[in-house]
Structure 1
Amino acid sequence: MKIKLTQRLLALAAMVPTGSRVADIGTDHALLPCFLIEEKKAALVIGTDLHQGPFERARQTVWEKGLEAYIELRLGDGLTVIRPGEVDTVVIAGMGGTAMRKILAEAPEVVGRLQKLILQPMTNPETLRFWLQEQGWVIDQEDLVYEDKQYYQIIGAVPLSPGNTVHCPFPCGKDVARFQELAPYYGPLLIQNRHPLLAGLLSRDLEGMQMTLEQLAKATQKEARLRYKEYAQRTEKIMELKQWLSVVNPSSI
C-alpha cells in the first residue's frame, strides 16, 4: 500500500520539482520521502532528524516500504549532515520560522548550490520571507492549508537569476502593491492569487490582535502606547486586505 499524506504534506510534495534530489530536514516518520519516491517525484531523498526517536521511526518506515536504495536517513542537526551539491532541493517543515532561518543561514555552502527551497514555518513566516529577499531568492510558489484547526503557510523559492526575474520577493503584482507591508506576513502570491483560505487566516489573526489591542489600551507606558499605534495600523490594513479579498473585482476599490 502506498503512502497517504495529509493535505499539508501533499502541498509540500506538490512543490518538489520532478526528478530532483531532495533533503527533507526533520523528516520524522519519513512519510514525505517515501511518497516522493513512490510517485517518482524525486530521484533520491535524504531524510534527516535531530532526535533518535524520530530517526528510528523513519528508518522503520523506509525499511517497510523497501525503499532503502532511494532514501538515505541521517541523524544530525539541520543541514550540517548535507554536503554541498549533494541535493538540489531542500524541504523544511513543522518548525518555527526563526529556527528555519538559522538552519539556512548556518549552511551557506549547501544553500548556495540549491535550486529550490520549500518551507513550511509554524510561526514567523515573515522571518523567512525577509531572509529569502536578503539572500537573493525569489518566491515562485505559495500555498495555504487548513488542517486540524491550524493554518499552514507553504513557501517555495528559487535563486534569483536572469531566467526567473519575472518573480519578485514581495509584493508580486501592481494589484497588491498597497499591501506591501503585509506581504511578508501573509505571502505575496497568496495575496496576489486571492487564496480562498487567506480570509480565514486573516480573521483568526484579527481576533488575536483585537485582544492585544484591548490589553495595550489599558497600559500607560510609552512603549505600550507605541505598540498600540503599531497594532492598530496593522489591524486596519489587515481589515482592508480582507475586504479586498471579498470583492469580485478588487481593482475597483
Structure 2
Amino acid sequence: MRLERVAAHVPAGARLADIGSDHAYLPVALMRRGQICAAVAGEVALTPFHAAQRTVTENDLQTRISVRLADGLAAIKSQDAITAITLCGMGGETIRDIFESGKSHLSGHERLILQPNGGEQPLRQWLMDNGYGIVCEEVLHENRFDYEIIVAERAAEPLTYSAKELFFGPLHLQLRSPAFLQKWQRKLRQRQKTLHHLARAQQALPREKVQALNQEVHWIRELLA
C-alpha cells in the first residue's frame, strides 16, 4: 500500500530516479503501467543492486531502467534529465543526509516524493532550508505502523514553517485527516507512557529532553482537543 501511494504522486511521463530502490519494484511497476518514460534505480549495497538488476531483466526493461550501484543521489547523471525522485523506507534523517550530500545532483526542477520511517521533522526542516515547499502530505497505517508520505517541489519564494508545522506537517495541520489524528492519538499514548516511566524510574534525563517531550505532549493534546 505504501508503494502504491508513493506511485500515485509520480507525475505521468516522469523521468524517475528511485534512490534506495531495493528490488526496483517501484520503477518497474510504473514503467509497466506506462506512467513513466525512463527511470534510474540507485542502490548503494551489492545485494539489493543485484536484486534490482534481476527484477529489471525479468521484466525486459533494461533499455528503459538503468540500475546503478552508487551512493545516494550520485546515481543520477545530468543527461538523465530526472523530473521526479523517490526515496522510501528509510529514516527521515537518512533521507535528509542523502539530499544534503548529493545536492550537486539536483537541478531543482524535480518533484521529491519521500516516504520516511520516522524523522519527518528534520526532513521538513531540510526541505524548508533548501527552498522546497511541501505540496502534499499523507499518513497511512499499515502493519501496525504509521507511515508518512511527503511530496515537495522547489518553491518560487522562500518558505518559513513554524516549529509546530515542522513537527506535524503544514498540510496535515490544515487537513487533519482521520489517519493523521489517529496517528497522533497513538503517539500521545507513547509519549505519556515514556514520561510516566521516566518519572517512576527517577532517571536523570537531560532537562532539554524532558522539556521537549512535555512540549510535544502539550502540542498533541492541543491538536486532539
Give the TM-score normalised by the residue count of structure 1. 0.81
In structure 2, distance between residues paired with 1:214 and 1:85: 55
Q: Do residues 135 (structure 1) and 130 (structure 2) align?
A: yes
Q: How far did residue 169 of structure 1 move?
A: 5.8
Q: Which residue of 2 aligns with 1:202?
A: 184
Q: Do residues 70 (structure 1) and 68 (structure 2) align?
A: no
Please point out which of 33, 43, 53 is paired with 1:39. 33
1:15-59: per-residue Cα shift (whole Å, max 9, x none)? Answer: 111111110001111110011112222110100111111111111
In structure 2, distance between residues paired with 1:54 and 1:169: 38
1:97-128: per-residue Cα shift (whole Å, max 9, x none)? Answer: 11111110112222234321111111211111
Q: Do residues 25 (structure 1) and 7 (structure 2) align?
A: no
In structure 1, distance between residues paired with 2:114 and 2:15: 16
Please point out which of 167, 180, 184 is paired with 1:185. 167
SS in 1 for 2:40: strand
Could you tell me whether the CA contact under 8 Å between 2:91 and 2:118 is conserved in 1? Answer: yes
Could you tell me whether the CA contact under 8 Å between 1:85 and 1:113 is conserved in 2? Answer: no
Alignment CA distance shift 1:238-1:56 (3 Å): same
In structure 1, distance between residues paired with 2:46 and 2:102: 22
Percentage of matched positions with identical amino acids: 33
Q: How many residues align?
A: 223
Q: Which has the higher contact order (CA 8 A, sep 6+)?
A: 2
In structure 2, distance between residues paired with 1:16 and 1:233: 36
Give the TM-score normalised by the residue count of structure 2. 0.91
Q: Which residue of 1 aligns with 2:46?
A: 52
Aligned-pair Cα RMSD in Å = 1.9
Q: How far did residue 237 of structure 1 move?
A: 1.6
Q: What aligned pairs does 1:88-237 form with structure 2 within 5 A after superposition?
A: 88-161=83-156, 170=161, 180-218=162-200, 219=202, 221=204, 224-237=206-219
